Amino acid sequence: MVWTRRRVAVVLASTCLVGLALTFAPRTNTAELAAQNAASAPKYAKPVAVFVGGTSGIGQGMAEAFNRHTKGNAHIVLVGRNRQAAEGVIAKMKAYGNGTSTGSYEFVPCDISLISNVKRSAADIVTKHPKVNYLVVTAGVLGASSVQTEEGLDRTAALHYYSRWSFIHELLPSLRFARDANEDAKVMSVYSAGDGGSFDRAATNNDLMVEEFALRNPGIVFSHASPGAVRTNLLKASDSPVLHAIDLILPLLTPVTVSQDECGEYLWSGLYRSVPTLGSGSVVGAYRIDSQGRDLGTKRYYGSPEKRVAVWKHTLQATRTADE
């Protein structure tokens, strides 16, 4: 992803507009929302949730929120590159129940910019966890230049689309097991629902991805969500001087942004409400969710059945995956 002046301007404008909209629009009190989410969380024994990118930012916020909703009684898998960060998140989650909870936690190291790594890590997770109830993928990057991985894919595209597709595809056996056990089986790719088209092809690809997976896997929810303007370290970690500059003024935007914890609650509210018998558009089980957890429907949707089939075929080739 090349950050041209036009793109930076659009991002800044979008951040401000989204923030202003959130500021003046009616919003659910975060404490009330957290209570509602806790009431909606699974009550069966030890649900399993996998968070790809769960060692920081939005992924961390969603993992910690799920830990609270389940009162520390879930099994949570964090997938990422930073073991030290993961250990810090896990220590925080372990402390939540004051020693009374039955939850368990693990870290799976994986550089998800490489599809081979994704397949290897996903296979390990499926072997260890025949059942997975929730898969949340948030890992991403903001960069100033296009870098090709050793597998021949653009690194940004790999993080924002191909690796997400691969993680979902490889964890399907465990998601299907949960579905067949009459438990929740839900997937969320947190990227940029509603921002597709020529401006961001990966956003449209994520829309098409969740639709095709839903068509092929009745009874499982597949969703693509937009987090909105969230205060994380993503700008600070970027290799773009322009984005570093934006990070410096981020504190000034606090009134029109949300924390990663608040974002986690909003997105969970959308995921909990998503059911496999409905959908945002014509595809049952496929959802597009906005930054407050609301159903986007078909607003700013740039896909079509023809594009969906074409993108699926292309992805099979790009990830060297055999179709089912």
Cα separation, 38 vs 269, whole angstroms: 10
Distance, CA of 44 to CA of 274 (rounded, Å): 18
Helix (H, G, I), strand (E, B) or coil at 83: helix
pLDDT at 145: 59
Cα separation, 118 vs 139, whole angstroms: 12
Residue 40: is its pLDDT beyond 90? yes
Q: Is residue 263 over pLDDT 50? A: yes
pLDDT for 313 beyond 60: yes
What pLDDT, on a 0 to 100 scale, did the predictor assign at position 97? 74
Residue 196 in tokens: 């597709």
Q: How confident is the model at residue 232 (pLDDT cuts 50, 70, 90)?
A: low
Instruction: List all residues 6 or more positions away from 49 whose beta carbon is below 8 Å from its beta carbon.
Output: 63, 66, 74, 75, 76, 77, 132, 133, 134, 135, 136
Residue 251 has pLDDT above 90, yes or no: no
Strand-pair category, 104-109 with 221-225: unpaired
156: pLDDT strictly greater than 60:
yes
pTM of the model: 0.87
Q: Give Cβ neighbours of residue 151 (< 8 Å, ≥ 6 apart).
A: 114, 115, 116, 158
pLDDT digits (tens, 9 = 90+) for 95-134: 987 677 889 999 999 999 999 999 999 999 999 999 999 9
Domains of the chain: 5-24+46-318 (3.40.50.720)
pLDDT, mean of residues 19-36: 69
